[in-house]
Structure 1
Amino acid sequence: MDPITNPYAPGAGSQPPELAGRDDVLNRTRVTLGRIKHGRPAKSFMLVGLRGVGKTVLLNRIQEISEEAGYISAMVETPENKSLPEVLLPCLRRILLQLDTKERVNEVVKRSLMILKGFANALKVSVGEIEFGLTIEPAPGIADSGDLDADLPDLFEAVGHAAKARGTAVALIIDEMQYIAEAEFSALIMAVHRLSQRQLPVVVIGAGLPQLVGLAGKSKSYAERLFDYPQIGPLNDADARAALIEPATREGAAYEDGAVDKVLALTKGYPYFIQEWGYHGWNTARQSPITPSDIELATRTAVASLDESFFRVRFDRLTPREKAYMFAMAALGPGPHRSGDIAAGLRVAVESVAPLRSSLIRKGMVYSPAHGDTAFTVPMFDEFLKRQQSLT
């Protein structure tokens, strides 16, 4: 069929043509945003799930919803090689400058910019030179001590007062939160706690891998009362079918029932994989309806595409010893697996591979669903690893 009209969108964070099965999260978002904007208490929240479940897609939609609700929003990603202040400073600067309109000069907003300047100046030694182009003088004695636990709450409070002075609200949306260092996560939680105590119109909505919940709890014991942690998983059967069928229907195409069943069995309900198989199934089929044979042929190109991008980009980040650990996991199946079983596969003592496991957790490759257990954060990664081994 015509690849130009192919409705599927496999890609990192690409908005799927049919955002199925996520109404609960989006309704929660609307309620939270509405309550905070009207000065009523509401918890910030963090979406938690494996790779490929559509967390980034949801965050993009949440940003759209926040802007529709009149919020000033910013969405950022926390990479492994940057500190939290480095990530937050540019977007907080942008938010405050949006509040500082030339038509309506506001002293509260001006003071917040001065506090931001002082915060940035205090951190230059530890995070490198960050140029903000702010010509105003810093506000002395506020958020400029260099102690992130003390300064970040002061800075967030200043942003909240600026938003309140303008009669609006701010949504700060953070992706890949599992990469935030524990000490910085502690400061972030304290900052959100301050916002909650002052009932200021700023909401923090984030997303990350399953280890995010443990990281938050380890950083501050009251994090579980401050945030909700909606679990984002594979789609159920009805929603998975809708995600596959509805985009094709809107383009005047259809699937045979057996083709749909085959895609759902292969993708296991993971939204990213549904998009991948839908995309390749469409391009493989000569005409509508798409048949099981079309899907069988498309599976070869879908798997090859995933191996070259979705899986490969993560595999190539690993050291040889980390790869050996992952191969030992894959030999045991999808998981989760006991640490002792993985060590036995490597023929070493459990204690000797503990640093490897910790390194893989930090890299976002594995997580611990229960004490002593280890599981892949990337669905079907065991199958990819077995294919890699078969090539060597």
Structure 2
Amino acid sequence: MDAVTNPYAPGAGSQPPELAGRDELIQKTKTTLARVKMGRQAKSFMLVGLRGVGKTVLLNKIQEIAEKSGYVAILLESPEGKSLPELLIPCLRKILFKLDTKEMVNESVKRGMMVLRSFISTVKVNWEGFDIGVDPEVGSADSGDLEADLPDLVEAIGVAAKSRQSSVAIIIDELQYVPEVEFSALIMAMHRVAQKQLPIVLIAAGLPQLVGLAGRSKSYAERLFDYPKIDKLSYEDAATALLEPARREGVSFEQSAVDSVIRLTQGYPYFLQEWGYHAWNIAQNSPITKADVEQASATALKNLDESFFRVRFDRLTPREKDYLFAMAALGPGPHRSGDVASELGVFVESIAPVRSSLIKKGMIFSPAHGDTAFTVPLFDEYLKRVHP
């Protein structure tokens, strides 16, 4: 069939043509944003889930909803090796400039800029050429203690937003990469604005270890935030995600083809897009058959191996790769740490640092004490394909 009209969208964070199975979360988002805008209590929330379940897609959708609701909404991604202040400062500056207007000087917005200027002075990064155009406010957010300074800064921005009868949504992806002490400062900042009922909401996403990281950072984090679990789709929702885009183009699937795609992808949204895309390109006409899906599988797996899987695998050290090969040999998981050690023929204590490193890199997580599981669905099958 015509590759130009192929409706499927495999790609990192690409908006799928049919956002199936996420209605409850979308409604939660709208309710939270509406309550915060009205000055009513509402919990910020953090989406948690494995790779490939569509967390980034949802954050993009949430930003769109927030902006349509009149929010100043900023979406950013937390990469490994970058501090939280480095990440936040350009975005908070952008928020303040959006709250500013040339028609009328607003003292709260101006003060927010001054507090930001104070905050910048404590961050050990070269901000040369990064202009705000105001002097720092001495004594505000300039102590050098992030847990004291960040709440001061976020509060000042909340006051500025309230003075403009506006609201702010800070949306952060890959939050699990934020170091624990910086995570603690972010939680304290959101605790401050919640206490003062300022119109700022934090919506974030990360791997399953995000919940434990939040709890270790501040014990009250479990009461301050909700943690919606984003999982693979049910059979019905997976079928909708696969069939609706094709239906809009006048194309159908045989039922056996639908069953085959859902079995191969296990209902993970990213993989559904991948299989749908390649099955469409291989099929000669409608309906798409099980034979088309089976033929597409080789292309889909090759593409995943060379991109989705490999980009993560190539970042690892030889010892980390051996650890994952041992996990794969045991099956999909989760696995006890002792079983992985036995597979490697070593003591558990000797590979504990390797396990910790893999958790920090976002390759594995601990669903329960002593257990280890892959954060990337179907990664065990990939490792068996590439194991020398």
Whole-Å Cα distance in 1 between the matches of residues 251 and 287 of structure 2?
A: 6
> Secondary structure of the residue that 1:122 maps to in structure 2?
coil
1:128 positional shift? 3.9
Of 157, 166, 169, which aligns to 2:167?
169
Whole-Å Cα distance in 1 between the matches of residues 282 and 182 of structure 2?
Answer: 48
Q: CA deviation at 1:101?
A: 1.0
- Specify the SS of the correspondent of 2:372: strand
Could you tell me how far 1:136 is from its partner in structure 2?
1.0
Q: Give the secondary structure class of the aligned counterpart of 1:329.
A: helix
Match of 2:331 in 1: 333
Contact in 2 for aligned 1:120/1:130 (Cα 8 Å) = no
Within 2, Cα distance between the matches of 1:149 and 1:136?
Answer: 24
* SS of equivalent residue, structure 2 residue 143: coil
* Matched residue, 2:252: 254
Q: Secondary structure at the match of 1:199?
A: coil
Change over 3 Å in CA distance of 1:68–1:150 after alignment to 2: same
**Structure 2 residue 60 is matched with structure 1 residue 63:** no
Q: Secondary structure at the match of 2:169?
A: strand
- Are the equivalent residues in 2 in contact too, given 1:53–1:234 (CA < 8 A)? yes
Render the CA deviation track for 1:73-127: whole Å, top value 9, x for unaligned: 100000002000101100100000011111222111001001001101111x2x4
Q: Are 2:237 and 1:244 aligned?
A: no
1:156 and 1:326 mapped to 2: Cα distance?
41
Normalising to structure 1: TM-score of the pair? 0.98
- Aligned partner of 1:370 in structure 2 is 368
AA partner of residue 331 (structure 1): A
Who is 1:20 aligned against? 20
Per-residue CA deviation, residues 146-205 of structure 1 (Å, 9 max, x unaligned), is 110000000000010000000010000000000000000000000000010000000000
The residue type equivalent to 2:305 in the other structure is D
Correspondence 1:139 to 2:171? no
User: Cα RMSD (Å) of the superposition?
Assistant: 0.7
Partner of 1:152: 150
Letter in 2 for 1:29: T
C-alpha separation between the residues in 2 aligned to 1:33 and 1:350?
A: 46
CA apart distance, 1:132 = 2.3
Q: Tell whether the 8 Å contact from 1:93 to 1:132 is kept in structure 2 after alignment.
A: no
* Counterparts of 1:139 and 1:230, CA distance in 2: 39
Q: What's the CA shift string for 1:267-309, capped at 9, x where partnerless?
A: 0010000000000000010111100000000000000000000
Distance of 2:213 and 2:68 partners within structure 1: 32
Counterpart of 1:388, as a letter, is V
Residue 268 of structure 1 pairs with residue 266 of structure 2: yes
Contiguous gaps of at least 5 residues in structure 1:
none
CA–CA distance in structure 2, aligned partners of residues 27 and 99 of structure 1? 27
Per-residue deviation, 1:133: 1.2
Name the CA distance, whole Å, in 2 between partners of 1:145 and 1:298.
Answer: 59
1:11 is matched with 11
Q: Give matches, 1:184-199, under 5 Å.
A: 184-199=182-197
Matched, 1:307 2:305: yes
Matches within 5 A, 1:198-217: 198-217=196-215
- Residues 130 and 62 of structure 1, relative CA distance in 2, 3 Å threshold: farther
Cα distance per residue 1:33-58 (max 9 Å; x no partner): 00000000000000000000000000
The equivalent residue for 1:33 is: 33
| CA shift for structure 1 position 131 | 4.1
Identical positions, percent: 68
Q: Distance in 2 between matches of 1:225 and 1:212?
A: 15
Contact 1:75 1:173 (8 Å CA) reproduced: yes
2 CA distance for matches of 1:82 and 1:217? Answer: 22
Please give the secondary structure, in 1, of the residue aligned with 2:346. coil
Q: Work out the CA distance in 1 between the residues paired with 2:285 and 2:87.
A: 47
Normalising by structure 2, report the TM-score. Answer: 0.99
Instruction: Provide the secondary structure at the position in 2 that maps to 1:335.
Output: coil
- 1:224 paired residue number: 222
* Partner amino acid, structure 2, of 1:215: L
Matched, 1:182 2:197: no
Counterparts of 1:94 and 1:249 in 2: how far apart (Å)? Answer: 41
Take 1:368 and 1:128, find their aligned partners in 2: how far apart are those partners?
Answer: 37
What letter matches 2:365 in structure 1? Y
Partners of 2:244 and 2:377 in 1: CA distance: 24
